[in-house]
């Protein structure tokens, strides 16, 4: 199982703690066995959380692929003033702590805008989180027009990783970054895009088609 690079510091720390807990159990046998067992459960969860599986799926300039694993928690018409500068369709994908948290580019193209905004850490599935939470946005000029993708930190997320920057040419389905420990990713599209998902659908980064561009 491939592990995202951001996960190794956490996993190595957990393994070192597991070893220390085994020493404690060896020194005080009996009830202390619960400590290393609990540590192993946490370590196993970290391996699962930071997994980075290969993803293949539909590709094409007319397709918008999900940038995240999770559940579609919102579909709305909004005024997007940072990059698209017009009415747009916003598709929001909420990632819980058991989803793969590696994010992927929804379209191919050139990154024209990259913007990081510090903020709050309210529950990411709330609609207001798109406005007030810590977030990192990338505006991508695709062959079929502009697409904005925004990583939004959640209540327990404290680190957004975004790999690309202005001038980078990116490929649909390739790694874009990740958000640690529960979060959300929004995609803003031209309002004429034809949606292929509905509220509540389960989607997968690099595999599920969110919409088709005109």
Please choose, from the candidates 203, 207, 213, the residue with its C-alpha nearest in 3D space to the C-alpha of residue 74: 203
Told to judge if 192 belongs to the known catalytic residues of this protein, a careful annotator would answer no
| CA–CA distance, 90 with 85 (Å, rounded to integer) | 13
Tokens of 132: 């007030």
| Active-site hit among 66, 183, 192, 198 | 183
The total number of residues written for the chain in this structure: 214
Three-state DSSP class for residue 131: helix
In DSSP terms, 51 is beta-bridged to: 3
Instruction: For residue 214, count other CB atoms closer than 10 A to its CB.
Output: 9
Q: What is the DSSP code (8-state) at residue 11? A: H
Tokens of 163: 């790999």
| CA–CA distance, 101 with 51 (Å, rounded to integer) | 8
> Contact, 91 vs 189, CB < 8 A?
yes
Instruction: For residue 200, count other CB atoms closer than 10 A to its CB.
Output: 9
The set of catalytic residues is 183
């Amino acid at each position: 199982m491939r592990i995202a690079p951001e996960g190794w510091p956490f996993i190595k720390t957990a393994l070192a703690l597991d070893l220390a807990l085994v020493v404690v159990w060896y020194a005080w046998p009996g009830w202390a066995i619960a400590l290393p067992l609990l540590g192993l459960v946490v370590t196993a969860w970290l391996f699962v959380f930071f997994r980075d599986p290969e993803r293949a799926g539909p590709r094409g300039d007319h397709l918008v692929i999900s940038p995240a694993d999770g559940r579609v928690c919102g579909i709305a018409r909004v005024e997007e003033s940072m990059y698209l500068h017009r009415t747009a369709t916003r598709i929001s994908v909420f990632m819980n702590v058991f989803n793969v948290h590696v994010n992927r580019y929804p379209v191919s193209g050139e990154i024209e805008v990259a913007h990081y905004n510090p903020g709050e850490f309210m529950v990411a599935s709330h609609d207001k989180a798109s406005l007030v939470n810590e977030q990192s946005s990338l505006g991508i000029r695709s062959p079929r027009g502009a697409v904005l993708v925004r990583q939004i930190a959640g209540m327990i997320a404290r680190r957004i990783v975004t790999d690309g920057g202005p001038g980078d040419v990116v490929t649909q389905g390739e790694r874009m970054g990740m958000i640690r420990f529960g979060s959300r990713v929004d995609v803003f599209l031209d309002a004429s895009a034809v949606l292929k998902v509905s509220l509540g659908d389960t989607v997968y980064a690099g595999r599920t088609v969110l919409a088709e561009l005109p």
